[in-house]
Amino acid sequence: MEHTSPFRWIGRTIKHAVDDYAWIGSFLAAILGTAWVLQQLGISLPGTSNQSVANALGYWSGRLSLLLFVVILVQAAARAGMEEGRQRLTLSPAHVRDLHRQAEIMSMALNMPHNYVPINLGSVAARNFGQHFPDVLIPVGAWNDGVHEWQLALKALNTRHEHEALRPIDGMTVQMSGVMLAVAWGTYASPLEVTWGVQTPGGVEVHNLMFSDPQMAQDIAVATIPPGVDAFAFANLVQRRLLEVRDWPEAVRVREAVASLQTIRPILSKEFEAVQLNHSPTGRCDSCRPPKPSRQSIRRR
């Protein structure tokens, strides 16, 4: 915790006792105080012919001087305290730019399609960011927890997929590992929501089962139809297998984790955008160093 130097505080108090229009009150207090001292020493005030006026000045000048001095000292001390508070809360422009840059770096983690990465909170810059914007750490923490859950769910899904990818369908080995994963992830729409079809490349006697995916807005090649197998029967078998894949508990867990991250993403994105528009962050951080204000900038205040 920072401590204010007593000499700096005294200097600021004296400065504020004479700057702007405060010098008028200080000057009057000095004149009245001088008149009182002269009266106490038995020295008559120059130009004072009226005895009652001289007596009044002798009696009241000291009290008025003390009153003015106390008032000026109080307001000067108050202004010195305000100046001290402003300096403690003021961050250097370079530090504010660092905070903006950190918000930009953190926001990059939100913009990776089909992949989710945690936001690093262990660096010095990230700790400074968190100390200035503690409220933003709440959705950041939710994001990191969601990414961790997604990683665990994805690992479990990949393990399940390795055991299931080459499992025969009605005695037939069907190569559609990539499609199975995409359906499990939710990248492709449900097999019940796509339009199935058969592609026959020109000049070859090969028939490929495909579907038109409304979610991806494109045609997806699924697998080659084995020779002598009815295309409709094969499509029915493949559809049932993909529906089974989509309903794997591991697949459901992955899609739920993705849905949670998709909910947090726009909220956190707005928070980072707000930070980058904030040029007067509040609070303090371990690395904060306030700028040294020039005498000219202090005088303007």
Per-residue pLDDT of the chain (301 residues; tens, 9 = 90+): 344 556 665 666 666 656 766 666 666 666 666 766 666 666 665 555 455 555 555 555 666 666 656 666 666 666 656 555 555 546 778 888 999 999 999 999 898 877 899 999 999 999 999 999 999 999 999 999 999 999 999 999 999 999 998 899 989 989 999 999 999 999 999 999 999 999 887 656 778 899 999 998 999 999 999 888 999 999 999 999 999 999 999 999 999 999 999 999 999 999 999 999 988 887 778 777 655 554 444 444 4
Question: What is the domain range of residue 64?
Answer: 6-89
If asked whether residues 138 and 65 sit together in one domain, one would say no
How many Cβ atoms are within 10 Å of 23's Cβ, its own excluded?
A: 13
If asked whether residues 108 and 242 sit together in one domain, one would say yes
If asked whether residues 295 and 240 sit together in one domain, one would say yes
If asked whether residues 72 and 119 sit together in one domain, one would say no
Size (the chain), residues:
301
If asked whether residues 259 and 278 sit together in one domain, one would say yes
Angle between helices 249-276 and 177-185 (to 10 degrees): 60
If asked whether residues 196 and 296 sit together in one domain, one would say yes
In angstroms, the CA 193 to CA 172 distance is 25
Is residue 108 in a domain?
yes
How much is the pTM?
0.64
In angstroms, the CA 120 to CA 127 distance is 10
In angstroms, the CA 8 to CA 292 distance is 13
